[in-house]
Amino acid sequence: MRKSSKSASTYQALESLSRKNGLMEKSIEYVLCNSLSSCAKIMNWHFGVQIHAYTIRSGYEDNLFLSTTLVDFYAKCFCIVDVRKIFRAMKVHDQVSWTSLIVGFSANKLGKEAFFLFKEMLGTRIMPNYFTLTSVVNACVGENKVVNCCPSLHVHVVKRGFDTSNFVISSLVDCYASCGRIDDAVLLFNETSEKDTVIYNTMISGYCRNLYSEDALKLFVEMRGKNMSPTDHTVSSILSACSRLAVLVEGKQVHSLVIKMGFENVFVDSTMIDMYSKGGDNDEARRVLHQTSWKNTVLLTSMIMGYAQCGRGVEALGFFDYLLTEQKLIPDHVCFSAVLSACSHAGFIWKGKEVAKPRPIVAALKPSGGIAKADTCFHCAVR
């Protein structure tokens, strides 16, 4: 097959394979499913589409396993319209095909649709498995305010006996926290008898997302007391909590943990710089910046804002020039606001007017923010 695929079309390669050694139908089905799965992993849409065409031409379009694999392939290639078409064309649906569909919608950030597909699945009297429930719960994170799905999913988790799985419970905790139902998230967390690293990280992130910074810090200390390791996302959340509470001592302890665990992450570095800047230790923030292997707009904007808030306008503008001239980066509306604020605090009216002048880089404001965000910048200039 490898030789044929190099010298001829995919059609010829597959037809050559089917003829060779008189392969049985099950063998062809196995090869096609494996080939599609491989295409899905590397998102090789072109080759996968040709395999799909071959399945139709060869009369395999009604094969349940192949159709389910096609659903998975198109979902991983972000072709959600094709996912719908293939699934609706299937004559038979089972637990695996429904789960593949829901997982596909979840992976494409279509949480609301995934939840309604889950309800449709239940209407066919096909029961969800562990992967179905976990996928639909994760899909509903951020969508719960729209469809109020978390309590309903919680009931199904208990009914199916998956409430002993910390992974499923962690997903539910995340779902409750994402829609602001922090009390329900805490209740579920406290009811979990054997708490692991995953559920601790999820609960800490939930606290931080809802601005319960003190509770997040307490739980982080409890977690570290049990020798559990935080993720880089948790560390970033805790640094943000330290920043909001203006607790520099605790922030420095988290910084030591970051060094010890070897975290190298732009979000961790960004929140660390923000924490030091808001705590008034701009020199330490500068050291963190110089030690990072990346210098992007987010990190440099944090530096500009930190120096601007302390009235150190010269240093703030120095970082803006460094961003433009040495790093060749395009500032966004947040960066412009920080620079204009620095000019305002330092009394550099002339520099503020120069920054506020129309220029090509101002176009960067339009895609993400448009007029409203540009207005925020020029409000700083007027002030």
Do 111 and 76 share a structural domain? no
Pick 357 or 166 by higher pLDDT.
Answer: 166
Residue with tokens 């503008």, as numbered in its chain: 317
Q: How many CA atoms lie within 13 A of 192 on its CB side?
A: 27
Return the pLDDT at 363.
45
Pick 357 or 153 by higher pLDDT.
Answer: 153
Can you give the pTM of this predicted structure?
0.76
Return the pLDDT at 146.
55
Please give the helix or strand (H or E) that residue 213 lies within, else none.
Answer: helix 213-225
Domain boundary among 238, 270, 291: 291
Do 357 and 367 share a structural domain? yes
Do 202 and 185 share a structural domain? no
Does the pLDDT at position 147 exceed 70? no
Does the pLDDT at position 5 exceed 50? no
Lowest mean per-residue pLDDT among 60-74, 127-141, 151-165, 355-369 = 355-369
Do 238 and 286 share a structural domain? yes
* Domain interval for residue 252: 195-291
Do 187 and 99 share a structural domain? yes
Return the pLDDT at 121.
96
For the chain, the residue count is 383
Return the pLDDT at 66.
93
Query: What is the rounded average pLDDT of the residues 134-148?
Result: 77
Letter for the amino acid at 304? I
Do 187 and 224 share a structural domain? no
Does the pLDDT at position 108 exceed 70? yes
Query: What is the rounded average pLDDT of the residues 34-47?
Result: 89
With a CB cutoff of 8 Å and minimum separation 6, the contacts of 149 are: 115, 136, 140, 143, 175
| Banded model confidence at residue 145, pLDDT cuts 50, 70, 90 | low
| Residue 137 three-state SS | helix
Q: What is the dihedral of CA 312, 314, 316, 318, to 10 degrees?
A: -150
The token pair that represents 214 in the structure block: 């003190």
How many separate domains does the chain show? 4
pLDDT, mean over the chain = 84
Do 310 and 283 share a structural domain? no
Domain boundary among 239, 265, 291: 291
Do 347 and 368 share a structural domain? yes
Does the pLDDT at position 24 exceed 90? no
Q: What is the pLDDT of residues 175-217, one digit of tens each?
A: 999 888 999 999 999 999 899 999 999 999 999 999 999 999 9
Return the pLDDT at 73.
95
Return the pLDDT at 1.
41
* % of residues, the chain, pLDDT over 90: 44
Query: What is the rounded average pLDDT of the residues 20-32?
Result: 66
Q: What is the pLDDT of residues 362-382, one digit of tens each?
A: 444 444 444 344 444 444 544
Q: What is the pLDDT of residues 68-85, one digit of tens each?
A: 999 999 999 999 999 999
Do 183 and 116 share a structural domain? yes
Pick 280 or 15 by higher pLDDT.
Answer: 280
* CATH code for the domain of 149: 1.25.40
Domain boundary among 45, 72, 87: 87
Do 203 and 188 share a structural domain? no
Do 203 and 112 share a structural domain? no
Return the pLDDT at 359.
53
Residue with tokens 């305010």, as numbered in its chain: 145
Do 182 and 104 share a structural domain? yes
